[in-house]
């Protein structure tokens, strides 16, 4: 007899429950803002990726409403079948202009962008070398390719050099890295990685999900931060779902990249395009970040303040240099307990444990945004101090 669905579900769920890995997301009863209502409670929100406060920005909402009225609620079908709406094409031109690349393509999410681009570009006989801490969507995207897959040590150009040296290849060689790493908030050493990649004729692929809208002048991204934006051997992908406030993903780079992806990226070919309201919001986001420099200024002033104060209290923020600010608590139960206690103090910040992060480096991941006021951050810091002392994380 085959296993029944209900046996499968109860066995899997109790396995997850017993190992402490069962996830059930908290429910927000109010929009994503620096302060929101979670499970009925008013909290300071340190959990979202709403870096620039765009998820509820008036200019984005206005443009979304305008596009909704003019273009309707849906795109109709896959772009190659129903025809692509003018606004999708315009958004892509806007992104290519913003990123200073030869072309850009927009997909449905950052996740599907990694599936589409890695799956669409790499072939048998190619070599792809990926940072060991790259995001799950890169790992899954690479599973779709027949290229030879290798891993290099996190942010380690010398190890990248070793892997490239040991694996001579006639096909395309691609080095893949996150721009900003989502758990530690550290930066890929792109200057050195690109230099090594070039020595072997390799292309560098940067997933800038947490760097776009955060790093570089006007949030143009980690590739801009390091000055590689005009390079044809650098591909920038990322999400439009974090700093940019909506949902979507982009791939930007070589002038021929978009055309090939239109023909080869399976999410483009087989999934309906983004809704017009989303496209409107994203177009407005790109305008707004260039119009209002205070957004980036506030994001970084808040980031510097919060990190410095956590450090002064004695917390370990793991050398993070971006708004992603981990606070290390040791083993997972300690991090989860701290997250619960912080929530009781009115602070919403998520605990992360093994296997998402190494076993002894369980943490709470705090995301600082442009929207937080000094008062929000001080409230969070006071709660951290209280919880950290109670748990013996600081003050011992
Ligand atoms: N890449 C990285 C590095 C990410 O952190 C994320 C988001 N968790 C994604 C891709 C996926 O982006 P999206 O949420 O738009 O699917």
219-238 pLDDT, tens digit per residue, is 999 999 999 988 999 999 99
What's the sign of the alpha-carbon dihedral 283, 287, 290, 293? negative
Q: How large a percentage of the chain has pLDDT more than 90? A: 93
- The Cβ-side half-sphere exposure at 22, using a 13 Å CA radius, reads 11
| Ligand 1 pocket, residue 111 CB under 6 Å | yes
Is the beta carbon of 110 within 6 A of some atom in ligand 1?
yes
Report the alpha-carbon distance of residue 190 to residue 205 in Å, rounded: 10
| Residue 246: band (very low, low, confident or very high) from pLDDT cuts 50, 70, 90 | very high
Examine the residue annotation and report whether 212 is marked as an active-site residue of this protein. no
Sign, Cα dihedral of 156, 161, 162, 166: positive
Rounded-to-integer distance, Cα 289 and Cα 51, Å: 11
CATH architecture of 58-291: 3-Layer(aba) Sandwich (3.40)
Q: Kindly list the domain boundaries of the chain, sorted by start residue.
A: 23-55+293-391, 58-291
Single pTM value for the model: 0.96
d(CA 107, CA 265): 9
Is 100 among the residues known to form the active site?
no
Q: Read out DSSP for 105-150? A: EEES-HHHHHHHHHHHH--TT-EEEEETT--HHHHHHHHT--SEEE
What number is the ipTM of this complex?
0.98
In the set 137, 182, 212, 320, the catalytic residue is: 182
Q: What is the pLDDT of residue 104?
A: 98
Centroid of ligand 1 to alpha carbon of 137 (angstroms) = 7
Looking up tokens 């979507």 gives 248
Q: For tokens 């810091």, what's the residue?
A: 381
Distance CA 179, CA 234 (A): 12
pLDDT of amino acid 83: 81
pLDDT band at 307 (very low <50, low <70, confident <90, very high): very high
Judge whether residue 396 has pLDDT over 90: no
Identify the CA nearest to 236 among candidates 221, 247, 251: 251
Q: 235: helix, coil or strand?
A: strand
Average pLDDT of span 116-144: 97
How large is the average pLDDT for residues 130-149? 96
**Whether 384 contacts 313, CB under 8 Å:** yes
Q: Helix (H, G, I), strand (E, B), or coil: what is residue 130?
A: strand
Separation of 313 CA from ligand 1 center, angstroms?
A: 31
Residue 196 confidence (pLDDT):
98
In 179-279 the beta strands, taken as DSSP E runs, fall at 203-207, 234-239, 249-253
Answer for the pair 60, 245: CB distance below 8 angstroms, yes or no.
yes
Q: What is the mean pLDDT of residues 383-392?
A: 97
The separation between CA 204 and the C-alpha centre of its own chain, rounded to angstroms, equals: 18
> What's the chain's length in residues?
396
308/285 Cα distance (integer angstroms): 29
Strand order in the sheet with 362-367: 324-330, 362-367, 350-352
Residues near 234 by beta carbon (within 8 Å), at least 6 away in sequence:
194, 203, 204, 205, 206, 223, 228, 253
Task: For 23-55+293-391, give the CATH class.
Answer: alpha beta
């Amino acid at each position: 007899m085959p296993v029944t669905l209900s046996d499968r579900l109860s066995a899997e769920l109790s396995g997850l429950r017993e190992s402490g890995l069962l996830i059930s997301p908290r429910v927000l009863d109010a929009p994503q803002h620096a302060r929101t209502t979670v499970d009925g409670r008013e909290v300071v929100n340190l959990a979202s990726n709403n870096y620039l406060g765009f998820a509820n920005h008036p200019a984005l909402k206005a443009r979304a409403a305008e596009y909704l009225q003019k273009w309707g609620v849906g795109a109709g079908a896959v772009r190659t079948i129903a025809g692509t709406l003018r606004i999708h094409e315009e958004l892509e031109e806007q992104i290519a202009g913003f990123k200073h690349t030869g072309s850009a393509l927009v997909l449905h999410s950052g996740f599907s962008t990694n599936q589409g681009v890695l799956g669409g570009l790499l072939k048998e006989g190619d070599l792809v070398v990926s940072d060991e801490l790259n995001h799950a969507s890169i790992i899954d995207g690479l599973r779709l390719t027949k290229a030879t897959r290798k891993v290099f040590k996190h942010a380690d150009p010398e190890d990248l050099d070793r892997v490239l040296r040991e694996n001579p290849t006639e096909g395309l060689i691609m080095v893949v890295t996150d721009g900003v790493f989502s758990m530690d908030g550290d930066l890929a050493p792109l200057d050195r990685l690109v230099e090594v990649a070039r020595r072997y004729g390799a292309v560098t692929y940067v997933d800038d999900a947490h760097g776009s809208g955060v790093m570089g002048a006007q949030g143009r991204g980690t590739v801009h931060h390091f000055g590689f934006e005009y390079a044809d051997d650098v591909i920038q992908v990322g999400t439009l779902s974090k700093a940019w406030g909506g949902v979507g993903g982009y791939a930007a780079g070589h002038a021929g990249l978009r055309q090939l992806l239109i023909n080869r990226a399976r999410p483009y070919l087989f999934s309906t395009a983004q809704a017009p309201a989303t496209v409107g919001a994203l177009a407005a986001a790109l305008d707004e970040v260039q119009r209002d420099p205070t957004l980036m200024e506030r994001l970084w002033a808040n980031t510097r303040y919060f990190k410095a104060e956590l450090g002064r209290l004695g917390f370990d923020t793991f050398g993070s240099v971006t708004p992603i600010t981990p606070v290390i608590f040791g083993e997972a139960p300690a991090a989860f307990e701290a997250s619960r206690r912080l929530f009781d103090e009115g602070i919403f910040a998520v605990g992360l444990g093994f296997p998402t992060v190494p076993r002894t480096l369980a943490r709470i991941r705090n995301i600082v945004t442009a929207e937080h006021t000094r008062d929000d951050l001080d409230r969070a810091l006071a709660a951290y101090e209280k919880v950290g002392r109670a748990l013996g994380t600081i003050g011992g």
